Chain A
Amino acid sequence: MAEAVSPTTSEKSKAPRIGVYICHCGTNIAGSVDISAVEEYARTLPNVAHVDNYQYMCSTPGQGKIEESIKEKGLTGVVVAACSPRLHEPTFRTATKEGGLNPFRFEMANIREQNSWVHMHDREGATEKAKDAIRIAVAKASLLEDLYPKSVPVEHAAMVVGAGVAGMQAALDLANAGIKTYLIEKAPTIGGRMSQLDKTFPTLDCSQCILTPKMVDVGRNENIELMVNSEVEEVEGYIGNFDVTIRRKASGVLSPKEAEARGIVGGGCTGCGDCVPVCPVTKPNPFEMGMAPRKAIYIYHPQVVPLLYTIDWDSCVKCGLCVEACGEKKAIDLEMQDELVKVKVGTVILATGYELFPIENKEEWGYKRYENVITSLEFERLICASGPTGGHLVRPSDGTTPMRIAFVLCAGSRDNTGIGKPYCSRFCCMYSLKHAHQIIEKIPGAVPYLFYMDIRSFGKAYEEFYYRIQDEGAKFIRGRVSNIQEDPKTKNLYVYAEDTLLGRPMELEVDMVVLAAAVQPTDLTNKTRKLFGVSCSQDGWLLEAHPKLNPCGTTTAGVYLAGACQGPKDIPDAVAQAEGAASAASIPIHKGEVELEPYYAMCIEEKCAGCGMCVNLCPYSALSLVEKDGRTVMQVTEAKCKGCGTCGGFCPGGAIWMNHFATPQILAQIDAFLIGGEQ
């Protein structure tokens, strides 16, 4: 096995001379690792020509040490024992390059995150482990080779998946920066959750009033190609060249443009709504959380963008009355089929948003069991002037106006039972304060009771908002609601909690309960993220590249995150992240080309039997079989290969060479670990 030879270097240039640099990282490493003992040990390792240590290797003088000694000692490889390569590998590669070596002749030994930080109280053990890590890194560095990154051109177009406020903002920014942007939305209209909200905290702007201008902008922007009723079906390619297949679901209704394409002059949907009264089918409108009816041909609300009707095929009986009513516009096609559209984009932003978790699973609060227990989103629709009740908050059981309303905060958030969500949903405190304000404002004499554990009013002008609502008369009870019982006759609700500040249990009879339900990623998030190769955290939120320093990026180059799909976010945070993601996503496009890490697989053609097993195994479709000199051999599309090693590990003939993670390099590391310095 070990005799596999790199296809690029048929002979070793010269005997390896490795420099080893040990970082103290202040006391982060030196506090639990005996640096001088490690240094002494490193000097005894084969191929080591130089050893040094420094307080902070990442500092300018630290990097200078590397650059100088490469030249002075004629080094062929560099090992820095310090932190995680996720942090400073680029720094030390640059230093290696500055010293005159190929930057890929650098290897990092992590003696901080994987050592000093976890073995803080075991100095001896940590020191021995650091020796092991350096010995292994030296073994690999001795076999490292020159590698040259390849550049690929970047398609001058971007895609945003999800057209809530974050997706819309990202799309507008990209489009205004001169980039053709495809905005993909699964619903029949853009706007997302924000369009369902009545007012926004802490400024109390009307949500629709501030959102609809943006929706109009999106609809009119020449650089934005809007695709509603659409889902991402398939993704191929890599940064700069994503080939994305979009499923445009049959809406049953033609836009004027689509009508024209079919030769129907002056036809297509104008949003006149003549089809609606004739439709015999009535269903609950999901935009109104099911509290208002809609027909089988419908729009969510009057301000939808694009203003096109949509047919719900699950309920349409295809009676054809709407087709008749539409008349000469001929906008309705009851036989319309889904369409698959392929687009090529350079970068992608995911903005797939959130939804409420099924709060009925927390049975103690009786949602779906007690009529007058509603969710916060239902409250938004009921208090909204354009909602199903014209903005009159009423009890679902009898249509009367509730005067005593309890708000259950942390309803399923901060919950470790496995039923709710362990995290804080972040914006429930604030919208519940806003709900309290709306009740006080709209219903004279009504009293909101907020059951809370902590009021988390951390944003700009949020604490002031809390002050204001308390002053307006909202009652705050520091206690989480234990359970709710319904009076079967009056349908009033008895809320049980402890006022933990008084130390007294309380039984509060109220007319309505609003559950500030925990949020979770939307149902399609998981499918979509898998298509783009994006990871998620344990609770399903999409994983950013770095929680602090790269919150918009992902570990997949060219794919970025905006809004609540990355974690619960209020509107300002969602919009800010969207602008960040748009900026990040525009950089490769404006540069016009991207450098790919040269960690791709290579085929050693003499050894390849052309069996093709690797082709099927490759998760990135980067491999294919080709005819060469009368033989079938495997070929790698380097730009598609992520260097995962699946093929290299499997190949029965040892015919696949993984650049930078080659079999001899890995074996040398294992040997160094198991049998010490000898190879």
Chain B
Amino acid sequence: MVTKNYPDPKLNEKLRDRYYRRDQSKPEFTKAVREISGTMAHMCYQCGTCTGGCPSAPRSTYRIREFMRRGVLGLDQEALTDPDLWLCTTCYSCTDRCPRDLAPTDVIMAMRNLAFRQDIIPVNFLKTVQAIYSSGHGVPNNDVNRAAREKLGLTRDPPTTHMYPEYIKGIQKILDHYNLKANADRIVKEREG
């Protein structure tokens, strides 16, 4: 990219260099996406079938085809810093219909994994991690529900980690193996103080 360094920052932004140049492509990004997704992401021929049936596309600027293109060209920062990356509902319609037999949904998941490695992640994802770390459940039980369960003849807590908290230790070990809880706590703290 050509840096212009004009004194007026507004002009600098307005006239920002728009050329695609080869040095923006990171072949290792293309490779990483292919490996994590398990699909031949580099084979996309940009027909747009994915976006055409995507439930998120008509209500946002999210274009899964563009993410596929960024994967093909290795445009890592363009893909990973785009907030639209998190608008995929993982419905897999694009995967079922892709004529090249690719799995665009899994490409998105791979890119999200790569984004997380750069601490790019919405906090709601991390809060699920925190909830599971402490209770084993992403959506834990509460007192209203306990009462309702009792009325239905069920145990107040379901026979999961809720009723058998001794199992939570194992879950924590797995999450700690990947240092996931510590990372989640750190990022949430950075964002929310």
Chain A residues engaging chain B, CB cutoff 8 angstroms: 364, 410, 414-418, 420, 453, 478-483, 496-500, 503, 505-507
Q: How far is the CA of A453 from the CA of B94 in the complex (A)?
A: 17
| CB contact under 8 A between A505 and B57, given known A482-B50, A500-B65 | yes
CB neighbours of A364 from chain B (8 A): 53, 96-97
Residue in A420, A478, A479, A500 whose CB lies within 8 Å of B99: A420
CB neighbours of B47 from chain A (8 A): 410, 453, 479-480, 500
| CB contact under 8 A between A479 and B100, given known A498-B65, A503-B66 | no
Evaluate contact between A498 and B99: CB separation under 8 angstroms. no
- The closest CB in chain A to the CB of B55 belongs to A505
| CB contact under 8 A between A417 and B51, given known A503-B66, A505-B58 | no
Smallest Cβ distance from A656 to chain B, in angstroms? 48
Evaluate contact between A479 and B52: CB separation under 8 angstroms. yes
Residue in A410, A414, A418, A498 whose CB lies within 8 Å of B52: A498
Q: How far is the CA of A496 from the CA of B48 in the complex (A)?
A: 10
Q: How far is the CA of A418 from the CA of B98 in the complex (A)?
A: 11
| CB contact under 8 A between A481 and B101, given known A505-B54, A507-B58 | no
Evaluate contact between A480 and B99: CB separation under 8 angstroms. yes
Residue tally, chain B, CB below 8 Å to A = 23
Evaluate contact between B51 and A505: CB separation under 8 angstroms. yes
Q: How far is the CA of A229 from the CA of B42 in the complex (A)?
A: 50
CB neighbours of B134 from chain A (8 A): none
In B69-122, the 8 Å CB interface with A consists of: 93-94, 96-101
CB neighbours of B45 from chain A (8 A): 414, 453
CB neighbours of A417 from chain B (8 A): 98-99, 101
The answer to whether the Cβ of B141 comes within 8 Å of any Cβ in the partner chain is no
Evaluate contact between B101 and A496: CB separation under 8 angstroms. no
Evaluate contact between B100 and A500: CB separation under 8 angstroms. no
CB neighbours of A480 from chain B (8 A): 47-49, 52, 99
Kindly list 17 other residue pairs between chains A and B, CB separation below 8 angstroms, not including A498-B65, A503-B66, A505-B51. A364-B96, A410-B99, A416-B99, A417-B98, A418-B101, A479-B47, A480-B48, A482-B48, A482-B53, A482-B97, A483-B52, A483-B97, A496-B52, A497-B49, A498-B49, A498-B51, A500-B47
CB neighbours of B51 from chain A (8 A): 482, 498, 500, 505
Residue in B57, B93, B96, B98 whose CB lies within 8 Å of A498: B57
Smallest Cβ distance from A503 to chain B, in angstroms? 6
Evaluate contact between B63 and A503: CB separation under 8 angstroms. yes
CB neighbours of A499 from chain B (8 A): 48
Q: How far is the CA of A646 from the CA of B94 in the complex (A)?
A: 50
Evaluate contact between A498 and B63: CB separation under 8 angstroms. yes
| CB contact under 8 A between A497 and B98, given known A503-B63, A503-B66 | no
The answer to whether the Cβ of B46 comes within 8 Å of any Cβ in the partner chain is yes
Residue in B53, B65, B66, B96 whose CB lies within 8 Å of A496: B53
| CB contact under 8 A between A415 and B99, given known A483-B53, A498-B65, A503-B63 | yes
CB neighbours of B46 from chain A (8 A): 500
Q: How far is the CA of A478 from the CA of B93 in the complex (A)?
A: 20
